[in-house]
Amino acid sequence: RVSPKPGNFSVKPATHTIIGKDELRAMVKHSPPDMKILDARSLEEYLGKEVSGIPRPGHIPSAIHLSWNGFLNTNATVKDLTAIKAALEDKGLEPDRDIVCYCTGGVRSSWLYFVLKLAGFQKVRNYPGSWWEWSRDFACPVEKDFQGLQKMLGIEAPARPS
């Protein structure tokens, strides 16, 4: 039986791995061409499906939908690295670009952060406040795609009067 001896250590947050709301809002406003924002939520959430407890549906402007679970095999193992890199390339993502991941509360986006790091992306940050925080601040812009959501859900748009 092993009995470890007590030790002393200090925890230091790795602040270079996260981004806050104010910094992200400023980046969205100025739209730097070398930065990509990834939304790790479901496609329905991204398009604008109403979710209980969330004041505004939609996504951060310019965000690319990249569902967190798209990198898992059916048996819940991580897909082959070649397949992951191909999927990221298909979304127009390059390993040397700045990338910000978000979801609803920073959990699904932290998985996406991990996948990107696994694929060799170096400049990745997670937004821990995510949609939970962003949707509550009406100074933060929001985009929706109700036509895309209706199409996905199989809802026909109402006919326009002639």
Active centre residues (catalytic): 103
CA distance 8 to 19: 29
Among candidate residues 132, 102, 92, 107, the one with its CA nearest the CA of residue 27: 102
Helix (H, G, I), strand (E, B) or coil at 108: helix
DSSP string, 142-155: -B--HHHHHHHHTP
CB atoms within 10 A of CB 71: 22
CA distance 60 to 37: 8
Amino acid at 84: I
CA distance 15 to 147: 38
**Apex 40 CA angle, 109 and 100, nearest 5:** 60
